[in-house]
């Protein structure tokens, strides 16, 4: 069985702590336990919805540059939008620290690019985070370490895991090991593959666990988060390995949204064979102007080659996605609806 840590907040008091601190402490304890089921299932975190059953969060990717390349400006607007939407948490799609991840648990880049940048009150919520390829160029174990959670309790970074928020389950997938070029030193970089004994067995187990978890999920909405794009018309383009191995699983299991970073832009692409919307939020700091190929494709619903982030708002029957630029202006929205459970 998958071990679950159930977080209950609201009027709950946790040894004299506020409900927010209780949430951080319990999530931190769970992450430090590095809990896994006997057969290697994905780790699982529980996050409650609001009292009315709704949920909201922001998504940011490719950001950690000590405030440079408009990172601070994006952070400021995230704080404002986060307050307006009363968000429950933040999702990071990876490439959390440039250029080469962290050098260790006490690398000042952690605080200089995270704690001292995202200071708004509305952003003092859990940050559910995956690793990107730039993170793998540094000390991967440092980003996964409970030491960082002692420095900043918002930080929750695991390789692959599930956040269950009642009406939605979010499946975080470690996509960097899928890309064969990183193992061939194609980009002339060194990667920290500790924790991955062999690529083939790691990916086989991960794909099996993701498929199994998606099949078993009773959630109204299913969202998968990874660093690399399945579909993209920007610099890196599609990721062939994800199209071959992950996309069939997403389609079979009726995933609603696949959210990624990696390409430094904002975009939405509709899958031609399923309900999946491919959403890119990789514009947390340095963006790539004019690096685009295929803007006129019918499956491309939105593209912005500048800095920004996106928001997700969910109820049992409705989803609203909004893309914001560096000034906090809404550039594009997408709405989806589902039949209420009571009507099925």
SS (H, E, C) the chain: CCCCECCCCCCCCECCECHHHHHHHHHHHHHHHCCCCCCCCCEEEECCCCCCCCEEEEEECCCCCCCCCCHHHHHHHHHHHHHHHCCCEEEECCCCCCCCCCCCCCCCHHHHHHHCCCCCHHHCCCEEECCCHHHHCCCHHHHHCHHHHHHCCCEEECCCEEEECCCEEEEEECCHHHCHHHHCCCCCCCCCCCCCCCHHHHHHHHHHHHHHHHHHCCCCEEEEEECCCCCCCCCCCCCHHHHHHCHHHHHHCCCCEEEECCCCCEEEEECCCCCCEEEEECCCCCCCCCCCCCCCCCCEEEEECCCEEEEEEECCCEEEEEEEECCCCEEEEEEEECCCHHHC
Phi, psi of 152 (to 5 degrees): -145, 110
Binned at pLDDT 50, 70 and 90, residue 2 comes out as very low
Is 241's pLDDT higher than 50?
yes
Q: pLDDT digits over 309-336, tens only?
A: 999 999 999 999 999 999 999 999 999 9
Residue 5 lies in a domain: no
Both tokens of 101, joined, read 């991840």
CA angle 82, 322, 288 (to 5 degrees): 100
Question: Residue 339's pLDDT is what?
Answer: 74
Q: pLDDT digits over 196-210, tens only?
A: 989 999 999 999 999
User: Rounded mean pLDDT of 262-288?
Assistant: 97
Q: pLDDT digits over 59-112, tens only?
A: 999 999 999 999 999 999 999 999 999 999 999 999 999 999 999 999 999 999
Q: pLDDT digits over 163-186, tens only?
A: 999 999 999 999 999 999 999 865
User: Rounded mean pLDDT of 21-34?
Assistant: 46
Residue 283 lies in a domain: yes
Residue 82 lies in a domain: yes
Binned at pLDDT 50, 70 and 90, residue 3 comes out as very low
Question: Residue 1's pLDDT is what?
Answer: 36
Is 286's pLDDT higher than 90?
yes
Residue 108 lies in a domain: yes
Both tokens of 114, joined, read 């995270």
Both tokens of 327, joined, read 């000034």
* pLDDT, mean over the chain: 89
Question: Residue 343's pLDDT is what?
Answer: 55
Domain that includes residue 241, residue range: 53-339
Is 214's pLDDT higher than 90?
yes
Binned at pLDDT 50, 70 and 90, residue 8 comes out as very low
Is 10's pLDDT higher than 50?
no
Residues of the chain with pLDDT > 70: what percent?
Answer: 86
Cα separation, 84 vs 92, whole angstroms: 20
Cα separation, 243 vs 231, whole angstroms: 8
User: Rounded mean pLDDT of 149-172?
Assistant: 97
Which among 134, 236, 264, 304 is annotated as catalytic?
236
Q: Which residue has the higher pLDDT, 82 or 32?
A: 82
User: How many domains, in total, are found in the chain?
Assistant: 1
Question: Residue 290's pLDDT is what?
Answer: 82
User: Rounded mean pLDDT of 251-266?
Assistant: 98
Active site residue 227: no
Binned at pLDDT 50, 70 and 90, residue 35 comes out as very low
Cα separation, 313 vs 44, whole angstroms: 21
Residue 2 lies in a domain: no
Is 5's pLDDT higher than 70?
no
Residue 252 lies in a domain: yes
Binned at pLDDT 50, 70 and 90, residue 51 comes out as very high
Q: Give the position of tokens 């506020």.
A: 18
Question: Of 25-34, 98-107, 178-187, 295-304, which range is least confident?
Answer: 25-34
Burial environment of residue 65 by CB neighbours within 10 A (0 to 12, 13 to 18, 19 or more): buried
Is 7's pLDDT higher than 90?
no
CB distance 334 to 320 below 8 Å: yes
Residue 79 lies in a domain: yes
- What CATH number should be reported for the domain holding residue 242? 3.60.21.10
Distance of CA 326 to the CA centre of its chain: 19
Residue 22 lies in a domain: no
């Amino acid at each position: 069985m998958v071990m679950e840590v159930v977080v209950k907040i609201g009027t709950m008091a946790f040894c004299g702590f506020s409900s927010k601190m209780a949430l951080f402490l319990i999530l931190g304890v769970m992450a430090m336990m590095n809990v896994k089921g006997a057969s290697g299932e994905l780790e699982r975190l529980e996050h409650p919805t609001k009292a009315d059953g709704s949920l909201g969060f922001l998504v940011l990717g490719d950001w950690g540059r000590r405030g440079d390349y408009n990172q601070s400006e994006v952070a400021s607007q995230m704080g404002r939008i986060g307050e307006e939407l009363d968000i429950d948490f933040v999702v990071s799609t990876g490439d959390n620290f440039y250029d080469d991840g962290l050098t260790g648990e006490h690398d000042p880049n952690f605080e200089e690019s995270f704690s001292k940048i995202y200071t708004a009150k509305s952003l003092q919520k859990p940050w559910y985070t995956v690793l990107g390829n730039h993170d793998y160029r540094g000390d991967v174990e440092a980003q996964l370490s409970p030491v960082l959670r002692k420095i900043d309790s918002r930080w929750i970074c695991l390789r692959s895991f599930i956040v269950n928020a009642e009406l939605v389950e979010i499946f975080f997938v470690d996509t960097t090991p899928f890309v064969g070029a990183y193992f061939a030193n194609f980009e002339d970089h060194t990667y920290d593959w500790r924790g991955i004994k062999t690529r083939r067995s790691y990916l086989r187990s991960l794909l099996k666990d993701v498929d199994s978890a998606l099949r078993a999920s009773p959630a109204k909405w299913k969202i998968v988060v990874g660093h690399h794009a399945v579909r993209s018309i920007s610099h890196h383009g599609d990721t062939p390995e994800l199209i071959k191995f992950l996309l069939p699983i997403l389609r079979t299991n009726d995933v609603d949204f696949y959210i990624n970073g990696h390409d430094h832009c904002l975009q939405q692409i509709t899958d031609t064979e399923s309900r999946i919307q491919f959403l890119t939020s990789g514009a947390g700091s340095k963006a790539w102007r004019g690096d685009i190929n295929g803007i006129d494709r019918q499956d491309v619903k939105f593209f912005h080659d500048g800095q920004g982030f996106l928001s997700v708002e969910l109820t049992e029957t409705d989803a609203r996605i909004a893309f914001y630029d560096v000034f906090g202006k809404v550039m594009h929205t997408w709405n989806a609806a589902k039949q209420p459970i009571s009507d099925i």
